[in-house]
Structures are given as structure tokens and as C-alpha cells.
């Protein structure tokens, strides 16, 4: 990693455990303690906004992360380029934030967003009712399964 660079990957809600659980993968270098922050900038890839995966019907696959891998550019991180631009590409998922930009935000969260969530803005283009119903059922079943696991653990004590 470049000196002072860190990386983050916002993953779709629910891909690791159950729907509704958000996941961010952060990549940091292990460095000695310092009175001044080592981090100068953080590169983010937003694979959550306007992306829909489910555990059963549409699970996350390696091919889904190809664009992130290309943007991350592990073979030459010095040549990374922003995919996002406010005028030229407002849908770009790969973006760099400086340390100062991050500190100016909510200091307790590295779950940074910049893409417009189309599901909140475009009510005319909602998914098909069958897909919505299937997602609701899957969410409810995942929640029930979680509660069943908790009950088993509570009853075994």
C-alpha cells in the first residue's frame, strides 16, 4: 500500500449474515504508533448503493467484484484513478477521500456514501412486486432463523 493510503469496500447489506446487516471491509497497513495520523487518504469502493444481493436468490460472486479489483489495482496502486466525478461520472463507485475530508465528516463512522440511492429517489422504477415480496419473505425467514439460533443458545444454558 502507498504510505499513508488505506482502502475500504462497502458491501451490500446482508451478504455475510442476514439481510439488514451492513458490511464494510477496511484495509489498513499495520504501522507503529505515531502522534500524527499515518493515513493521508482512503480509497473507497461503494458496492452497496443501488446493488441488490440476497443470500439465496442472488448471492455475491467473485465476478461481481471484478470492477473493484480493477480499481483497487493491486499490481500498481500508484496508478489508481478516481472513477467518480461530480459532473463527468456521478455514478462512479471508486473514490478517494483525504484524511481531512474524512475527519470533517462524522468521526465515528467510516461508512462513507456519495452515490444517490435510486430506490429512494425513483419510486416509478421499483422492483417487480414478486421480487419485493420474495425479498420480504427472505428477510423475515432470515430474521426468524436468527431468533431460533438465539433461543437454542438460551435454552442450552
Q: For the residues 36-47, what does the mean pLDDT come to?
A: 89
Of residues 29 and 148, the one with the higher pLDDT is 148
User: Across the strands, what pairs with 85?
Assistant: 89
Q: Is the dihedral of CA 109, 1, 62, 94 positive or negative?
A: positive
Residue 2: pLDDT band with limits 50, 70, 90: very low
Reduce the DSSP state of residue 150 to 3 states and report it.
helix
As a whole-number percent, the residues of the chain with pLDDT over 90 amount to 22
The domains of the chain are located at 5-121, 127-157
Dig out the grid coordinates for 44 from the structure: 473507497
CA atoms in the 13 A half-sphere facing the CB of 154: 6
Residue 14: pLDDT band with limits 50, 70, 90: low
Domain 5-121, CATH number (from 3.40.640.10, 3.40.50.720, 3.40.50.150, 3.40.50.300)? 3.40.50.150
Whether the per-residue pLDDT at 141 is higher than 90: the answer is: no
Amino acid at each position: 500500500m502507498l504510505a499513508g493510503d488505506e482502502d475500504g469496500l462497502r458491501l451490500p447489506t446482508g451478504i455475510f449474515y442476514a439481510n439488514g446487516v451492513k458490511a464494510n471491509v477496511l484495509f489498513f497497513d499495520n504501522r507503529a504508533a505515531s502522534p500524527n495520523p499515518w493515513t493521508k487518504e482512503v480509497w473507497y469502493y461503494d458496492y452497496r448503493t443501488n446493488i441488490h444481493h440476497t443470500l439465496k436468490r442472488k448471492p455475491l460472486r467473485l465476478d461481481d467484484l471484478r470492477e473493484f479489483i480493477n480499481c483497487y489495482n493491486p499490481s500498481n496502486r500508484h496508478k489508481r484513478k478516481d472513477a467518480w466525478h461530480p459532473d463527468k461520472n456521478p455514478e462512479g463507485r471508486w473514490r478517494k477521500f483525504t484524511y481531512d475530508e474524512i475527519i470533517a465528516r462524522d468521526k465515528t463512522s467510516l461508512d462513507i456514501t456519495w452515490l444517490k440511492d435510486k430506490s429512494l429517489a425513483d419510486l416509478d422504477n421499483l422492483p417487480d412486486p414478486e421480487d419485493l415480496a420474495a425479498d420480504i419473505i427472505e428477510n423475515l425467514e432470515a430474521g426468524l432463523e436468527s431468533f431460533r439460533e438465539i433461543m437454542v443458545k438460551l435454552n442450552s444454558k
